[in-house]
Amino acid sequence: MRLHILSHRRAHACATALALVCTLALTACSGGPGDAQAKTTEQDAPEAVPVEVAQASLRAISASYTGTAPLEARGESQVVAKTSGVALEVLVEEGDVVRAGQTLVRLDSARAQLQAAQSAAQMAKLQSNYERSRQLAEQQLLSANDIDQIKYDLENARATNRLANLELSYANVTAPISGVVASRSIKAGNFVQINTPIFRIVDTSRLEAVLNVPERELATLKPGLPVELSVDALPGRTFTGTVDRVAPVVDAGSGTFRVIAAFEGVELLQPGMFGRISIAYDQRTDALVVPRMALLDGAGDPAVFAVRDGKALRVPVELGYLDGAWAEIRKGLQRGDQVVIAGKTALRDGSAVQVIGDKPAAPQVASAPAADAPAADPADQQ
């Protein structure tokens, strides 16, 4: 009888263990109600948008007006021949530096020399006649009318001689200004016509850039303000100058006025170079600034996305000066606030964000309760 009871208990324990194993297997395959709820929660939670941020910080910032203009030489001259003749000698070439009054070309002057000599002889003759007529007039042997005529002829001869000497001087073509020979259109042996341009001289010691500035800047731009210049031909180089003069009259058609910036003694700069010009008219040493790329595009009022507690919040700001890549913030932010500079297009007010470079928080996974081991059959303990 005892053996029959023990056999029945063993059979019942085996059936109970087999049913528990099947239940655990089905639960593992179906994932269980706890896993299904966790997956539903993960699907419903919004995905964090990856963004790059920068901190609002203090730095010096300048208020400036920027514009573009070509460089022009303040002094430029077309050298022309003032007389006709054959070019016997050309003394300069393109690129040569010349000074005012320097001889550039020597023309054939034989005819002018003969005319000067002829007028000088005539003048000398009339000078002698005038001296004798004065002596005769003192002796009252010559009338006043006759001596006046001789004096008139002498003055006329002197003028003719001066004109002949002036024509003779034109045989040496000289530079009217100091500068650089920019072009030459004459060769030795060429016949040169009067008033024909043969050289172009440019004074590169002082270059100017003329800006047409909107009238709203009329009260801020004054002579003497510092100017910075960069040109496409010399990348990476910056040149300094000053505002030389400001035209006080606003053009009614364009609504602009002229500002002329001058650059002196810069050998690398040449007329015709296209320059980007910045005129600084105010500066603040400790301004609260953010990168300019943090400003939201297309917003009616200036605003940025500030990152607070893992979310992007749209914060309206009051702007001050804009200086290159920086924007001054007068109101809306504090020093150390993080603003989004990349990833703004995917954000909305209140979007969850993940700052690139920060480690994301490790997800907390609830551990499944350990399956209870089947209780030992009391019969087995016996």
CATH code of residue 349 = 2.40.420.20
Based on the fold, state whether residues 270 and 208 are members of the same structural domain: yes
Nearest to 65 by CA among 324, 245, 316: 324
Judge whether 330 lies within some domain. Answer: yes
Judge whether 87 lies within some domain. Answer: no
Positions of E strands within 168-247: 172-174, 179-184, 191-192, 197-214, 226-231, 239-246
Judge whether 57 lies within some domain. Answer: yes
pLDDT value for 56 = 92
Distance from chain centroid for Cα 173: 42
Nearest to 231 by CA among 270, 265, 194: 270
Judge whether 256 lies within some domain. Answer: yes
DSSP secondary structure, 123-166, as one string: HHHHHHHHHHHHHHHHTT-S-HHHHHHHHHHHHHHHHHHHHHHH
Judge whether 25 lies within some domain. Answer: no
Based on the fold, state whether residues 276 and 308 are members of the same structural domain: no
Q: Give the C-alpha separation, 207 to 221, whole Å.
A: 19
Based on the fold, state whether residues 266 and 302 are members of the same structural domain: no
Based on the fold, state whether residues 227 and 278 are members of the same structural domain: yes
Based on the fold, state whether residues 319 and 350 are members of the same structural domain: yes
DSSP H or E run through 315: strand 311-316
Judge whether 43 lies within some domain. Answer: no
Beta bridge partners of 206: 264
Based on the fold, state whether residues 322 and 349 are members of the same structural domain: yes
Give the structural domain span for 114. Answer: 109-169
Would you call 252 helix, strand, or coil by DSSP?
Answer: coil
**CATH number for the domain harbouring residue 128:** 1.10.287
Based on the fold, state whether residues 210 and 275 are members of the same structural domain: yes
Q: How many domains does the chain have?
A: 3
Please give the C-alpha separations between residue 154 and each of 82, 141, 148, in angstroms, as whole numbers: 27, 20, 10
Judge whether 319 lies within some domain. Answer: yes
For helices 110-138 and 144-169, what crossing angle results, to 10°? 160
Q: Give the C-alpha separation, 158 to 166, whole Å.
A: 12
Beta bridge partners of 173: 105
pLDDT value for 9 = 55
pLDDT value for 1 = 43
Based on the fold, state whether residues 141 and 213 are members of the same structural domain: no
For 260, the token pair is 């002329």
Three-state DSSP string of 321-381: EEECCEEEEEECCCCCCEEEEECHHHCCCCEEEEECCCCCCCCCCCCCCCCCCCCCCHHHH
Q: Give the C-alpha separation, 118 to 161, whole Å.
A: 8
Residue with token string 């003969």: 114
Judge whether 271 lies within some domain. Answer: yes
Full pLDDT tens readout for the chain, 382 residues: 443 443 445 545 445 545 544 444 444 444 444 454 444 444 555 688 899 999 999 988 888 888 999 999 988 899 999 999 999 999 999 989 999 999 999 999 888 888 889 888 888 888 888 787 877 777 776 677 777 788 888 888 899 999 989 889 899 999 999 999 999 999 999 999 998 899 999 998 889 999 999 998 888 899 999 999 999 888 889 999 999 999 989 999 999 999 999 998 787 888 889 999 999 888 888 889 999 999 998 757 899 999 998 899 999 999 888 887 889 899 989 999 999 999 888 888 888 988 887 654 444 444 444 444 444 444 444 3
Residue with token string 């590169």: 204
Among 169, 194, 219, identify where a domain stops.
169
For 331, the token pair is 């109101």
**CATH number for the domain harbouring residue 268:** 2.40.30.170
Based on the fold, state whether residues 152 and 217 are members of the same structural domain: no
Based on the fold, state whether residues 216 and 274 are members of the same structural domain: yes
Q: Residue 380 CB: number of other CB atoms within 10 A?
A: 10
Based on the fold, state whether residues 277 and 309 are members of the same structural domain: no
Based on the fold, state whether residues 245 and 297 are members of the same structural domain: no
Q: Residue 231 CB: number of other CB atoms within 10 A?
A: 19
pLDDT value for 72 = 92
